[in-house]
Amino acid sequence: MIRRRTVIGLMSGTSLDGADAALVDFWEADGRLGHRLRAFATLPMPASLRAAIEAAMEPGPVDRIAELSMRIGEFLARAASSVMAEAGIAPAQVDLVGSHGQTLWHVPGRASLQLGEPAVIAELTGITTVADFRPADIAAGGQGAPLVPFADRELYAIPGRAAVLLNIGGIANLTWLDGRIQDGDPSPALAFDTGPGNMILDALCRALFDRPFDRGGRIAAAGAVHEGLLAEWLAHPFFHAPPPRSTGREEFGSAFVDRILARGSELGLAPVDLVATASMLTACTIADAITTLLPDRPDILQVSGGGAHNEHLLELLGQRLGGVELAVLPDADAKEAVAFALFAYRAAFGQINHLPETTGAGRPLVLGKIVPGRNFGRIFLAPRLPDGPIGRESSLPATESAHPETEDLDVLSARDLATLMAEEEFEVARAIAGQIPAIAEGIEIIAERLGRGGRLFYVGAGTSGRLGVLDAAECPPTFSTPPDQVQALIAGGPPALVAAIEGAEDDAEAGRAMLASRLPDPRDVVVGLSASGTAQFVAGALALARELGCATLLVTCNARLAGDPADLVIAPHVGPELLSGSTRLKAGTATKIVLNALSTGAMVKLGKVYGNLMVDVHVSNYKLRKRAERILARVAGVPADEAGLLLESAGGSVKLAIVMRRLGLSASPARLRLEQAQGHLRAVLEADAGARLDEV
């Protein structure tokens, strides 16, 4: 059994009588799913919770919210299409969509609801979509906001300077980034909402001037600030709360604006004065937050969001923050959209995209929920197989093609090189996963041939050939195979193990001759090893093997082989190498994994393993002797001080020693039992246990 997992399934149905919980074991065996229900329970639903759910399900709000979420999803999909059209690219050229959605409700630390169904976006665009980032933060004890500071630190920190990233959207929020090095490390980010940004200003412009916003701050600039009313607004508890803090329309939305309009009417304020006072509120709350809540005065304030276009508001900020450089980010309008693109990018690699110190969450998280689009298999599951010719290099094997993402390899930093190499190795695992059926077939072929007394020959060139030699050399100590049972032939012979003899791989006759010298017969299996699949040394040996009736396999990393080079081809397509043509990299890793699977799998099928223990280990040194003694103690219950003596009486055979001890036999009859079971220890022990039960 493989992939064993224990899973809890939860279901609360429309009856609202409780939540069902099932504890289930799942596993796979020979490609089939199995399961066992270990426990089941129903937790009755409290009457108060049931009443709250029933109230929320009343016709009106719930159906409107559900429909609205789908409509917003369609709108966001259209936005994605429009930016693709602007860039002149097709959806197939885009890997991911990161969608924040439209916030409908946000209660810091309790709940946050963003509408804009990501499944609609994924369906309409065909692109895998990552969305709904806030709930994970709240689940970990955070406020669910602000999230953008993660992107601020990743994208906009200025080395050597203390900077504030200020985004003036409906709500204004800032991020403090100290790029000055302290004790070798940058100080952590600090971020929070300062209060309303454009939210109140825009609402007043709509109500009083029938305009969507105050363009350039011209309306506010024409009015006078009412200091008394400003003081009333500044007394709001939010402005005196310490970070982490976040807010939204729940506090400064339509209800708050209605109170402003009513109060302005009471005071007889002119509309321009009301807008001027609201503009000063935004400036004051931002400036006060910077001067009172940050650890130091910033060198520079970098502004983004719609408020970055409000010259009057920026002038007010400059007056209240004298001496601080004020600058508008070049991508001021796109900053938050860029941030959520970054969140999706990080989430796709399973990487942290979150700063818990800015939200109050208990730990760093990977935020976002992934909704598969039509490209999901390409992005997350399947190796990147070539769809057709690859530009000018269409005739080249993939292993020889230039990697499109590493053309600047020679100018990368050591850290970037290491990161890129690590990420490239992910391709290997995905490529191997795509070849599991072929690898399984190869295991069966090798085990069957070896079981009939045949031999396993690895024939390879270069890195692939050296890996074959390595695998063959490790079989005798690991599985006590006879020296000639698993053999390796490498182009150029033994000198090629320590020096590159590149021309040797081009000699097909040399491959035939080297294999012929080992006198292969139809019981044998020959495994060719060639990353490109084009090494003539390997082709020559495989051709001879097929003529003699041997089973033949070819392990290659080229999915575009011509002809029929072997009975079975195992071709993990790892794509172009980071260093073009250097098949000691991904292709070498993939070849080693396949060889591990073939030899280990075959030996397991031949009974050289019990459980996951090396019961056929060849005891040839101190380390292996101690391992053998631990196996005896575990399987045969032999005390440590007796294990060595028992091993000696069995001639160093762990498997024989176990049978002797467990069945109470001397060496000769114990050996006979193993021979009758074709070396399978489990069969011997289970047969003895069955016989004992029959006696009872």
Count of beta carbons in the 10 Å neighbourhood of residue 593: 18
At the fourth CATH level, the homologous superfamily of domain 429-605 is: Glucose-6-phosphate isomerase like protein; domain 1 (3.40.50.10490)
Q: What is the pLDDT of residue 503?
A: 86
Provide the residue ranges of all domains of the chain, joining segments of one domain with +.
2-55, 74-144+339-371, 149-329, 429-605, 622-695
Token code pair at residue 357: 């110190």
Phi, psi of 297 (to 5 degrees): -80, 130
What are 169-215's pLDDT values in tens digits?
899 999 999 887 654 454 567 899 999 999 999 999 999 999 989 99
Q: What is the pLDDT of residue 695?
A: 55
Task: Kindly state the DSSP code that residue 508 receives in the 8-state scheme.
Answer: H
Q: What is the pLDDT of residue 216?
A: 95
Q: Which residue has the tokens 């994605």?
A: 80
Equal CATH topology for 149-329 and 429-605:
no
Cα 134 to Cα 144: distance, rounded to the nearest angstrom: 5
Q: What is the pLDDT of residue 691?
A: 61
Over the chain (696 residues), the average pLDDT of each successive run of 10 is 62 61 65 69 78 68 84 91 87 89 87 92 93 95 91 86 92 90 59 93 94 94 96 96 86 91 95 97 97 94 93 96 92 86 87 90 95 81 39 59 81 82 83 92 97 96 96 94 96 92 90 96 97 94 96 91 88 90 93 97 95 90 91 88 89 92 93 93 86 55
Task: Kindly state the DSSP code that residue 613 receives in the 8-state scheme.
Answer: B
Cα 661 to Cα 324: distance, rounded to the nearest angstrom: 83
At the fourth CATH level, the homologous superfamily of domain 149-329 is: ATPase, nucleotide binding domain (3.30.420.40)
Task: Find, among 679, 684, 686, 653, the residue nearest to 667 by Cα.
Answer: 653
Q: What is the CATH number of domain 622-695?
A: 1.10.8.1080
Residue 39, H or E segment: strand 32-44
Cα 354 to Cα 347: distance, rounded to the nearest angstrom: 10
Q: What is the CATH number of domain 74-144+339-371?
A: 3.30.420.40
Cα within 13 Å of Cα(84), Cβ side:
18
Count of beta carbons in the 10 Å neighbourhood of residue 307: 27
Residue 592, strand partner residues: none
C-alpha distances (whole Å) from 510 to each of 503, 515, 536 are 11, 9, 9
Cα 421 to Cα 589: distance, rounded to the nearest angstrom: 12
Residue 33, strand partner residues: 28
Token code pair at residue 551: 């089973």
CA Rg, the chain, in Å?
A: 35
